Chain A
Amino acid sequence: MRTQPTAPALQLPEKHYLNATYGIRSWLLTTDHKRIALLYLASVTFFFFIGGFFAMMIRLHLLTPNGYLLTPDQYNRMFTMHGVAMVFFFLIPSIPAVMGNFLIPLMIGAKDLAFPKINLISWYIYVIGGLFTLWSMINGGLDTGWTFYTPFSTLYSNSAVAPAVVGVFITGFSSILTGLNFLVTVHTMRAPGMTWFRLPLFVWAHYATSIVMILGTPVIAITLGLAAMERVFGLGFFNPAMGGDPILFQHLFWFYSHPAVYIMILPAMGVISELIPTFARKRLFGYHFVAAASLAIAVIGFLVWTHHMFVTGQSTYAAVAFSFLTFIVAIPSAIKTFNWTATLFGGSISFDTPMLYAFGFLGLFLIGGLTGLFLGALGVDINIHDTYFVVAHFHYIMVGGAVMGYLGGLHFWWPKITGRMYPEWLARIAAFILFIGFNFTFFPQFILGIMGMPRRYHTYPPEFQIYNVMSTAGASILAVGYLLPMVYLTWAAFFGKVAGENPWPATGLEWKTQSPPLTENFEVTPVVTWEAYDFHNRPDLGLDVPSGKGSPGVVAPAHGDD
């Protein structure tokens, strides 16, 4: 560590993973987890803007009660394709496949993931699945809702259901392979001294996520397979006229798709668990509890699926049991929130952009999580089920939570990924715009739901208009908030100020190698002798540790860094 963060005129390292080899083949045939992460970054960003375009069309159409922009069939295609693009092709792969891929080997001191070729294959599978789904969007579109409920999707829809279903089916395998890769990597490839309870919580969160990916995704694959067979070959799994049960589809679908929400939010929680200690320069409060909460969410998350089905006519007492479990799954999230908050006390808090996203996450996830209690309560769900209240609730979780986490993480690790810093003030302004725009867009939707406006409506009674106008206005602000980081992060990747090895400084192993890292990540395999976020025993960070405040006697040795 010869270079201090404050030293002037930093230079990019001579050799790193980005300039190790050149040419299109070196990217398309790479097995470097960092390059694959960038391939994923490009593809999920592509789908994010496709999904965002559909969202803009929805909001513009809903500006007036009768909506002049789209026909009913076009509107139904817009919200369906918005959901499919965002859920299956952006949210689920976003943090795991981009940041998890890039960071897990770096964080545990490994040279790569356990199965580098499988990692590359997973990206190709994702792309093939994405192409199928894009093809369906262009050739006839999709109008089933992202939930593909039968018998509408299998017997009545006049849209390109089969290719879309096949696309989502295929993409599922990329998720399974990624999860498998992460699990094996964390089990077998930790650097010497990197014990389980020294792992960064980002890794714990991805470990829990991987379990959900591996156990849950095969179920959605089977379910969509059955739906495709019913649609194409006329088999009657879900068709009541042939003795099938349409509600069975919902059970199978939500058995995956509820845990899938945790595939989206757990990694974001992992990001927040990195950001808060780093920018409060303090250990995460209750490390073990936060790690255990991730696992608890992954396990209990599999036992709550019929809370999507309280008004389908399912057994009354089954609904009661699932409502109970739904309240229980809220507890680990509450534990995490309290621990994040407690971490701030006695910290040394800075307001760098990633921390602003962490604060934004806390606020929005708080609202998203707490509004889940309304929906989990059976007596309230019979009123607000399938209204805009639900739409607002899950956007607070998936966009307010997962996307804020994603962007916060992207800003935090951008100097590691590209070796360069983004313009700080522009980034702070963008974070504010996002936060304001987000609340403006989705908060009015809670009120719409309370008023009784059902979701998936292309036209609505005039009493609902005022909140729809607010929501559309907010969405325009939100769009600016998303375009800004896209522009300045891209600019910064080429022209930003050189960041250096550890600009924040942060404690993770990924910050003990050059930025951008070497293809092999580390010149020498690091040896870990410190716990995660332990600022007091890290003289290598060059911070002022007050005498007497640190744990005595344990000093990090210098080996491992260059």
Chain B
Amino acid sequence: MQSPLPTFPEQASNFAGSVDMLFSFILMTTLFFAVLVTVVIIFAAFKFRRQSEKEVGDDVHGNNLLEVGWTLIPTIIAIGMFAWGAAIYVNYRIAPKDTLDIYLIGKQWMWKLQQPNGRKEINELHVPVNRNIKLIMGSEDVIHDFYVPAFRVKMDVVPGRYNTMWFRPTKTGKYHFFCSQYCGTNHAVMGGWVTVMEPAEYAAWLSGETGDVNPVSAGERLFTQLACVTCHLSNGTGRAPSLNGVFGANVLLADGSTVVADEAYIRESILQPKAKIVAGYQPIMPTFQGLVTEEQILSLTAYIKSLQSQPVPPKGAGIAPSSAGKK
């Protein structure tokens, strides 16, 4: 960063090395072809420059062998680049199981983040080094995008759905993050800093002064306040399915299909309850669209996730038999 003409930012995540490696491969390959073609053009322009006013060139139609060659060779190289890029991407899109989950809400023009213990931050993200971090991201208004150049990854933050992204910071330090999807007036200042800390440091920071309730207990409180608890009885005898152990399980629906109960499913079930009806239950749940904020939905989700440890009731949680059980 001291260089007068800086180029690559620091490499501070598990993805940085592989993204840069592929970048360098494509750079070298394209540079080779660009230089080759340029040199050939300059050579030809000089060698075959017009010698006399009325001169004409040779009468050549083409050469099928050459055509096949310069179709096949670039195709093979392109497929190589594609496959390499796809491998990195699939790894990036499918998060490992053992992640530290942090909730993130984008709104014009700030980022609100919440640690698993409830500690909230604005435009700051503290994470431990060498730990898989998963961001579960929602937006309160327009589309934003969370981008950390030093980690080489970004993901859009879209209203109406959860996107997730994961990374493993590999180096302690402070790194810029940006909003990289245009979101209105102050798009350019909707950024902040990721602080990557040693695990002990992180733990100390996490337990530091925090007046915030953690999302699970906030969710538990909401679950009562919004009267969810009157139907979703934990023993499965209520008018609505028990939510114990539902997170991460396959849920059997009224139309016979199954769906994995992930964050997006829970969110949809709160906002559009009639979209997917659990087998054996009536579509009687009212919508909570407009009644709960994005943050409250995240809290409710966190609470429902926390119900994992309790035993699955014998009857009617709607969980498909084949894969019932814990996550």
Contact = CB atoms under 8 A, between A and B. Distances in A.
Contacts of A387: 180
A79 B27 CA distance: 29
A324 B82 contact: yes
Interface string A514-557: 00000000000000000000111000001111100111000000
A328 interface: yes
Interface residues of B, number: 92
Nearest to B5: A466
B4 to A, nearest CB: 7
Given A282-B60, A319-B89, A323-B86, A152 B182 contact: yes
B7 A447 contact: yes
B184 interface: yes
A316 B74 contact: no
Nearest to A383: B152
Given A330-B78, A385-B154, A454-B178, A379 B6 contact: no
Contacts of A376: 81-82, 85
B40 interface: yes
B204 interface: no
Contacts of B8: 450-451
Interface string A347-388: 111110000000100110011001101101111111101110
B223 interface: no
Contact of A373 (B78, B86, B158, B185): B78
Interface in A227-247: 240-241, 243-247
Interface in B18-48: 18-19, 22-23, 26-27, 30, 33-34, 37-38, 40-41, 44-45, 48
Interface in B65-90: 66-67, 70-71, 74-75, 78-79, 81-82, 84-90
A550 B49 CA distance: 20
A426 B220 CA distance: 77
A247 B158 contact: yes
Contact of B85 (A240, A337, A377, A457): A377
A452 interface: yes
Contact of A544 (B1, B55, B60, B155): B55
A94 to B, nearest CB: 25
B56 interface: yes
A152 B62 contact: no
Nearest to A288: B62
Contacts of A327: 78-79, 81-82
A429 interface: no
A373 B77 CA distance: 11
Contact of A386 (B7, B34, B57, B180): B180
Contacts of B50: 281, 348-350
B288 interface: no
Interface string A382-405: 110111000000000000000000
Contacts of A366: 34, 37-38
B260 to A, nearest CB: 15
A326 B17 CA distance: 24
A239 to B, nearest CB: 8
Interface in B168-215: 176, 178-189
Nearest to A387: B180
Sorting the interface of chain A by its residue count into under 10, 10 to 19, 20 to 34 or 35 or more gives 35 or more
Contacts of A313: 155-156, 158, 161, 163
Interface stretch (A184-192, A255-263, A338-346): A338-346
Contact of A344 (B48, B90, B184): B48
A447 B3 CA distance: 13
For the residues of B in contact with A, the DSSP-based class is mixed
Nearest to B66: A342
B290 interface: yes
A424 interface: no
A367 B8 CA distance: 20
A344 B44 contact: yes
B114 to A, nearest CB: 20
A379 B37 CA distance: 27
Contacts of B61: 283, 285-287
Nearest to B149: A452
A245 B182 CA distance: 18
Given A311-B145, A348-B57, A543-B56, A457 B188 contact: yes
B284 interface: no
Contact of A450 (B7, B30, B75, B272): B7
Contacts of B33: 370
A347 B55 CA distance: 9
B281 interface: no
A240 B34 contact: no
B186 A346 contact: no
A282 B45 CA distance: 13
A326 B66 CA distance: 24
Interface string A289-309: 100000000000000000000
A482 B56 CA distance: 33
A549 B55 CA distance: 12
A287 B66 CA distance: 13
9 contacts: A282-B56, A283-B60, A347-B58, A349-B49, A373-B30, A377-B82, A447-B5, A454-B179, A545-B56
Q: Which 6 A-B pairs have the closest CB atoms?
A: A240-B160, A452-B149, A379-B88, A282-B57, A377-B85, A378-B89
Given A282-B57, A457-B188, 19 more contacts: A240-B159, A311-B145, A312-B143, A313-B158, A320-B86, A327-B82, A331-B78, A335-B70, A345-B48, A345-B60, A366-B37, A377-B22, A379-B18, A379-B87, A382-B89, A383-B154, A454-B179, A459-B188, A459-B189
